[in-house]
A = this chain, B = another copy of it.
Amino acid sequence: MQLGMIGLGRMGSDMVRRLIGGGHECVVYDVQPAAIQKLLQQGVTGASSLEDMVARLAKPRAVWLMVPAAVVDSTLAGLVPLLESGDVLIDGGNSWYQDDIRRSAALAPRQIHYVDAGTSGGVAGLDRGYCLMIGGERDVVQHLAPIFATLAPGVDAAQPTPGRKKGNSTAEQGYLHCGPIGAGHFVKMVHNGIEYGVMAAYAEGLNILRHADAGKRARDADAETTPLRNPEHYQYELDLAEVTEVWRRGSVIGSWLLDLIAATLVNDAGLKNYTGRVSDSGEGRWTLSAAIDEGVPAPILSIALSERFSSRGAADFADRVLSAMRHDFGGHVEKTADQPDTQKG
């Protein structure tokens, strides 16, 4: 079927490619003309403006937004006046589900339909397909099924789940109508919350493995340094590329994230290409906020988020408070970083 796509960044343009490959017709637009140019040879129709895009789409139109969460509202401000009753807007980006609820309510009087499509898959999605978590009216979502089916990975992307009746649900194809407006982004949000926790678990474990040679490094023997009682227990120099590779087969912690880190460690065992400033793009914050509203404990996610903040230096003042207190009650003087007990990064 025909789809308008607004936003041709990494994600948007790959999704267009996958749709074209699946036989769909795409009319595309981006504020940067170069992004449109790049796709023209794929067989898309480029639009010179939002007006032009809307004019080129058959009614009822289906327009997919794949823009940063921060510019969805401004994009809608330009687009919505051009749309008509019965048209469908799909937000496939990382919007907060509460914005979906607000936007949908604003569009309702004009009978413009709104669908939120949480999209996971990242840069691998062009090949692997995208996992789609969808919220909105049932019949509107069903109308878009051909689009979702092409973007999704398909049944063969995973082994059948034992006990499931086949063909019972589109979940097996990799897309799911989760519920009313916002349900798609809600599920995607929690997906990312889980992602933070899973990533942190691997990161922590690999860090422990990396320091398994702690007994080989000299330590200060002063009152500010806890002695390592049994240095003979920490004499291992582990090859993390090998360890992550072996875990990929048969272990309990096999996963796609493990596949990725195993590949990265092959050529950069010390991860020298990274400095360790870890960004967060909002979903983790929103998941935590939802957990708080629900009164549901989310300690793993909380810690994973706090660690990202700390990686950017945001714990510095708190750490200085601790040092100051230790000085005040115990006369403890801070050690400096170039002393021999300095941690191996």
Contacts and interface: CB of A to CB of B under 8 A. Distances in A.
Interface string A273-286: 11111111110010
A325 B312 CA distance: 17
Contacts of A245: 161, 164, 169, 171-172, 176
Contacts of A10: 331
Contact of A124 (B170, B211, B329): B329
A311 B319 contact: yes
A42 interface: no
A250 interface: yes
A27 B76 CA distance: 54
A133 to B, nearest CB: 6
Contact of A277 (B201, B261, B319): B319
Contacts of A69: 227
Contacts of A186: 209, 212, 236, 238
B318 A206 contact: yes
A342 interface: yes
Given A193-B205, A202-B194, A295-B343, A303 B301 contact: no
Contact of A255 (B162, B253, B266, B297): B253
Interface stretch (A28-36, A50-58, A151-159): A151-159
Contact of A262 (B161, B173, B175): B161
A345 B315 CA distance: 7
A259 B158 contact: yes
Contacts of A157: 248-250
Contact of A162 (B230, B238, B263, B317): B263
Given A203-B318, A320-B276, A334-B274, A292 B295 contact: no
A246 B154 CA distance: 10
Interface string A235-255: 111110011011111111111
Given A70-B227, A197-B300, A321 B206 contact: yes
Interface stretch (A84-92, A107-115, A139-147, A177-185): A177-185
Nearest to A260: B328
Interface in A310-345: 310-332, 334-337, 342-345
A20 interface: no
Nearest to A226: B282
Contacts of A294: 208, 211-212, 214, 234, 314
A46 to B, nearest CB: 23
Given A214-B294, A271-B324, A273-B324, 20 more contacts: A120-B251, A122-B252, A131-B249, A154-B249, A161-B266, A190-B205, A191-B251, A198-B253, A200-B322, A204-B318, A207-B314, A211-B296, A226-B280, A252-B330, A275-B334, A279-B326, A289-B292, A299-B303, A302-B306, A320-B345
4 closest A-B pairs by beta carbon, nearest first, are A197-B201, A276-B319, A255-B255, A302-B302
